[in-house]
Chain A
Amino acid sequence: MKNDGVKIIKTTTWSPGPGCHGGCGILVHVKDDKVIKVEGDPDHPWNQGRLCSRCLSMTQYMYHKDRLTKPLKRVGERGQGKFEQISWDEAFDLIEKKMKQIRQDHGPESMIFHQGTGRDIGGWISMLAYAYGSPNWMFGLSGISCYTPRLMMMSITQGDFAVVDASQWHEKRYDDPVYEIPETVTIWGQNLPATCPDGFFGHWYVDLMKRGTQLMVIDPRCTWIASRAKLWLQLRPGTDAALALGFIHVMIKENLVNMAFIEKWTNAPFLVRTDTPEPILLRETDLAANGKSTNFVAHDPVSNEFIIWDSDDQTYSKKNITPSMDVAFTIPLTDGTRVPVKTVWRMYKENAEEYTPEKVSHITWVPKDKIIQGARMYAKSSPSALHWGLPIDTIPSTIPTSQAVNHLWCLSGNLDNPGGNAIARYAYDVVTYPYHSGGSILSLPPEVAEKRIGINDYGPIKDFRAWAQPDKVLEQIFTKKPYEIKGMWIQTANPLACTGMEPQKWHKAIKQLDFTVCVDLFMTPTAMLCDVILPAATFLEKDSLKAWWVPLQAIKKVVEVDECKSDIEINLELSKRFMADFPYDNTHDLFDSLLKSAGITYQELCDNTWMIPPKGHPSRPYYRHEKGLLRADGKPGFRTPSGKIELFSSWLEKWCLAPMPYHEEPPYSPVSTPDLFKDYPLILTTGRRMGPFFHSEHRQIPWLRAQQKEPVLEIHPDTAQKYGIEHGQKVCVENWLGKITVKALVTPVIHPDIVMAEHGWWFPEKEGAEPSLFGVWDVNVNQLIPMGHEGKGGLGSPIKTMLCKVYKAKG
């Protein structure tokens, strides 16, 4: 406490408030139980004193006149905007009664627990869903197209997630002697300074540039960071897999791959049967009746014998061998028949052989020379790091696309090395948000878990992440098959303005349910439709913790604002009401239990505010595959079925998906729908980040809104001229699904054949009641993007690869 009555408290950012994925250390200035200022903490290694616009606007956010501060109950028709204030007791009683009735009459699975982008919610909303007994915890974005596809692909390819090592595991950051500045960072589809990447701080790349890192940027737009790159590749949206395969082609052809790493750590030497309709990995069971189907087969060139890779022992059946890499044979099976086999590596090379720079240039629009130059720049740099963004998820072919890009750091050996792509685990293995199935606070009995929507449709949905598949959920709300959906709990989500594609359908779906609850901080188009609205606390009004990925951090309740409660408190109170033997009495009990793997209590974490795992801890790099720190059995290798990086994926094979990467055209494109392209001759892409706003949030914050008043469409000057459009004019963006009217931003940063529309817009200052719903229908670009086009594994959707026409708006 200083003598001016101002207390300064150290804490950590995480949504709600700035909206982002958090991690910044801050100093909160409090006077008379009110936050008067928020500053960056200069002693925090993550942001080193810096802080973004949204966090610096926290005082305007917390004390905004339109902030929801009391529970509300709908009294008019749905969407009419008539609510009355009720007490928390009344709200909890009402929700308990209604949801227990639904559970009793229709089963717990008929209630959907709907979240938005993954921030400080996954742990607590899954807890509530499971305490209630529903397996239908869902993120509503079509094809779960936000990081989940990339996480899934990394998980099955290399057993763990990886992110660029920008020295975030070191307290001294760039100056730590063990750290190496990347020679090159490849930024694939992200405008880093304007964004808040998952578990990352965008401006770390500016820090690295100043320290000598050169950049390659792959983006249809020339962002500021693209304009500063040594090489900028302007690709056609949705062709990322082809470009990555083009890189792989050049790397193999020019011998720029790390063969020692590939031979030792990947499944490249394993043999694949080619007699089957689709190639499949040869198993020990194919050669010996008593063999194991989890063991694989390779070839020893010295003895010319076939050898077994034992996935449990993590050894070949013969010691000190260097397996053959580039061979093909016929091999006798147990029944005596001989079948053709070849190594994964030969098959991989043949697959990449197709993607010549000429062919890739034709697909991607990137000039051939630049493809070759890019491949060389990535592969010849050491260390070389690759940062990828959302466009890798927002295409139906996200699985082969994520796989192809992931392979770049596997083929070049830039995995868990200083300044490369480091394996990212939850700090101290503390899981507050399960990014794959398992790790959640409660679990469900198998007979309930089996009712999760989408589980029987898609392998990755079944085996990787515990979410229901959102496209299938929406479909089921209307078809009512195999069971009826009766209610929805919506928390940290605004599907009408943001996460919902074809939001008209979500609007209809939500309105027809028997009971809906929305937990939010402001009234939104989605909240307008709900029966009960609960006012949530910002991160400065709640206790929580964060371990994504590093450091392990405390979020501390600094003040209270009216009757707002944290998402965690709300969900814990209801969990107790829904589950008789719910194991936690209060949030601190719950946090202490989550912190067991760190060996500390929540109070101790608060005393430290942030903690970086010590050297040698499995949640801290480097080279953990060599040290036996990744696998549960302590053996060197990776957490995959074979223990190798699976360039030929046994998981994809199991799910009947192509086991190696390939290019697939977006469902709507000049190539796949040329007739449609005649009527809608521009590629519509969306989702680029806006500095002052996080997705659909912050439009009511005066300082932030002053930086951008209304949504824009980026259009190239040549294209604008062609259609008689001038800068600043209102234009209609239209396709066969819908139409919006926004302002033209005529700029050369966008490709002439592509337009970029902003997402997440609505107008808090406009009429909230139907039909207006805060003007969302005038500007929400998601009306031009379909639901139900998820990719083959239930992941990915064509959010950034649609078609449209643009014309001057009347009047």
Chain B
Amino acid sequence: MSEYAMLIDYEYCSGCKTCEIACNQEYKREAGKLGGVEVQEFIHFLQSGRLYITNIPHFTKACVFCAGRVKKGLKPACVQHCMANVLTFDTLENLKDKIPENRKALLWTKG
């Protein structure tokens, strides 16, 4: 599994936190306890003075990259349900071609 990684096209993350609940459902997690992903919101003023909101899905210690689902040929629960389609789960090799060219993105590896 170590060759798999998560590409996060976070500039389009709307902050809806669907990923958090998808993870809770998949692993029947207790509410309020750490799930596999948490969305962090940043409200910045750009140099121009313009407000700019960035949301970043942060994968926590609890994330197992949905190994069981992936084995069955399914996408991880958060990836499938992400309302903004900002998560891509694939091998590092395949993800190289999927990195967006015109904006910043994050690559999360399992290590």
A contact residues vs B (CB 8 Å cutoff) = 37-40, 42, 49-53, 56-57, 59, 193-194, 202-203, 206-207, 209-210, 222-225, 227-228, 691-692, 702-707, 747-749
Contact = CB atoms under 8 A, between A and B. Distances in A.
Contact of B25 (A37, A203, A692): A37
B17 A691 contact: yes
Contacts of B18: 50-53, 56
A748 B52 CA distance: 10
A206 B15 CA distance: 12
B82 A193 contact: no
B63 interface: no
A206 B14 contact: yes
A203 B83 contact: yes
A37 B22 CA distance: 10
B109 interface: no
Most chain A CB within a 10 A radius of its CB, from B20, B81, B83: B83
Contacts of B53: 222-224, 227-228, 749
A40 B80 contact: yes
A39 B50 CA distance: 38
Interface string B13-52: 0111110111011100111100000000001010000111
Most chain B CB within a 10 A radius of its CB, from A202, A225, A706: A706
Given A222-B53, A227-B53, A193 B16 contact: yes
B31 A206 contact: no
Contacts of B12: 206, 209-210
A207 B21 contact: no
A59 B25 CA distance: 8
A224 B17 contact: no
A436 to B, nearest CB: 32
A52 B52 CA distance: 24
A4 to B, nearest CB: 11
B84 interface: yes
A59 B31 CA distance: 13
Contacts of B30: 702
A742 B88 CA distance: 39
A38 B25 contact: yes
A363 B29 CA distance: 51
Contacts of A50: 18, 80-83, 85
Given A50-B83, A224-B14, A703 B55 contact: no
20 contacts: A37-B25, A39-B80, A50-B18, A51-B81, A53-B16, A193-B16, A202-B83, A203-B16, A203-B85, A206-B14, A206-B83, A222-B53, A224-B15, A227-B51, A691-B15, A702-B31, A703-B29, A703-B31, A704-B21, A707-B17
Contacts of B31: 702-703, 705-706
A203 B51 contact: no
Given A40-B81, A51-B81, A56 B21 contact: yes
B32 A193 contact: no
Nearest to B32: A706
A691 B43 contact: no
